[in-house]
Structure 1
Amino acid sequence: MQDNQAVNKARALYYNLFANFFVSSKELGNYLELVSLVKMLKENPLDASSGKALENISTALDPISNVVLLQEFDDLFHNPTTKKIRQTASFYDEGVESGKKRVEMIQFVAKTKIRRDEKAYFEYEDSVGFIFSLMAELTDLVAQDEKEYENTVHCIFAQVINDFIDEFAKDTYEHESAVIYKDLMVVLHSFVAFERLYLEVSKPAIKERIKKVESCDAISDEEMERRARNKAMKALGPKNKQDQDEPKDMAYDVEDEI
């Protein structure tokens, strides 16, 4: 009983670590708490590789300023001049934002007493920051003997985190701007491996990356019929001046606004 409580407290600390790295905050107090958390976890790492990575992170983090970390976060996830890493489970599942995985996460949240503060947090419920924050809260409640959340924690990991986290970690680790976050992905890799063992969840098979579907590809039935009529008319040739003056269809690409 006590062993499980200690393990769950440690798991909550790791989820809290990742949550603080993926929920961007300009509050210096939050940053200083993160610095302290890194220092604490590096004393008892999960394995040698995560221990070394935590040492590197601790060295790289400025002890009094969060400017460097905030800049790297923006370069990874918001900089339009580099490859922007997507942060939602839906994107890795379907190639679009706000998909089925977001619906699943909303349903999981509804089963708990925790709610997203929409005024303070604008990311979707299936974003890594929100998922890790929720898992930190729920795992901590489990450590406090609120057993009703054990199944929710297991299901969120098995049905949401497990399916996309390896791809997300790979994208982050390989990004040209990743320095602190490159080491963080080493820690995340070790932690996810531990969670799979602890929760008895198998690593998913490697699947082909789903490409983002452009909105112009999904045309309506009416538009398909109109194009078919135009094609048939062109095949017959112009019958009069009105046919010759009819404007042609114009091809254009439209990107979804994310």
Structure 2
Amino acid sequence: MQDNQAINKARALYYNLFANFFVPASDVENYLELVKLVDILKKSPLDTNSGKALEKISELLDPTSNIALLQEYDEIFHNPTSKNIRTTASYYDEGVESGKKRVEMINFVGKTKLRRNEKKYHEYEDSVGFIFSLMAQLSDLIAQDEKEYENTVHCIFAQILNDFIDEFAKELYEHNSAVLYRELIVVLHSFVEFERLYLEVSKPVPKEKVEKVQACEVEEISEEEKERRARNKALKAQGPKEEACPVDIAYDIEDNI
């Protein structure tokens, strides 16, 4: 694996970008940081297609308000009248929430000095937002010469993210309400292909689809899932004082004992 500080810093920026789109904060200051991040990345894109997509995202993002982004996010992931895109690795692996992939992610987090801030973040550990946020911080630590996390990052990508990200991206790209997110998926596609080359991980062979719980089948949602959704709804209703999951405080960083 290459040992390149600049590459790992760039990887951290991209993971940070995706984290902020999949756990969008209600805090406008955090949103403005996201706008700046898009402006930075569009100057040196991974390829032509992602460059055009970043330019389009920059045009679509309101420079002063995150309302449009939050509305599109809710339409895609929380609208009870339309198909909702599921966001956890367990769902794409087994067709259920909180499955084996969540256990694997909990174990990976346990190998780091990063910890989930449960008061601020209620999504499962194998949700795309959590994974992107964790990978952003670990990539940044690697760029700071904490090379002990290289293997953890490699394993999370190879064993968790790589297995389901293509299917997740396809469903999101084809969603009727996706505008900003359709452009984001173009960027994500280019980045995932880069990660596969950089980490020397092969694209997974398409597997037989598991039977998934439909969004409208409320009776089949577990009690744990209902409680998680209720916590998220309450957290969002509190507004800027209780951010959904700003990347800079999604984890409490502690020294290992």
TM over 0.5: yes
Report the Cα offset of residue 212 of structure 1. 2.3
Among the aligned pairs, what percent are the same residue? 74
- Distance in 2 (alpha carbons) for counterparts of 1:213 and 1:187: 29
Partner in structure 1 of residue 55 of structure 2? 55
Partner in structure 1 of residue 174 of structure 2? 174
Mark the CA change 1:254 to 1:66 in structure 2 (over 3 Å): closer, same or farther: closer
Partner in structure 2 of residue 142 of structure 1? 142
- Listed as ranges, the gaps of 5+ residues in structure 2 are 226-257
Residues 1:156 and 2:156 aligned together: yes
Amino acid at match of 1:83: K
How large is the Cα RMSD of the aligned pairs? 1.6
- Number of residues paired by the alignment? 220
Partner in structure 1 of residue 211 of structure 2? 211
SS, match of residue 162 in structure 2: helix
User: Which has the bigger relative contact order, CA under 8 A and spacing at least 6?
Assistant: 2
Per-residue Cα deviation, 1:130-156 (whole angstroms, up to 9, x for no partner): 000000000000000001000000000
Residues 1:255 and 2:203 aligned together: no
Partner in structure 2 of residue 186 of structure 1? 186
Report the Cα offset of residue 254 of structure 1. 4.0
Report the Cα offset of residue 256 of structure 1. 2.0
Amino acid at match of 1:199: L
- Distance in 2 (alpha carbons) for counterparts of 1:66 and 1:210: 35
Mark the CA change 1:3 to 1:256 in structure 2 (over 3 Å): closer, same or farther: closer
What is the TM-score with the length of structure 2 in the denominator?
0.83
Residues 1:79 and 2:79 aligned together: yes
Amino acid at match of 2:221: D
Q: Which runs of 4+ in 1 moved over 6 A?
A: none
Question: Radius of gyration: which is bigger?
Answer: 1
SS, match of residue 220 in structure 2: coil
Partner in structure 1 of residue 15 of structure 2? 15
- Distance in 1 (alpha carbons) for counterparts of 2:211 and 2:184: 26
- Distance in 1 (alpha carbons) for counterparts of 2:143 and 2:24: 26
- Listed as ranges, the gaps of 5+ residues in structure 1 are 215-252
Amino acid at match of 2:207: K
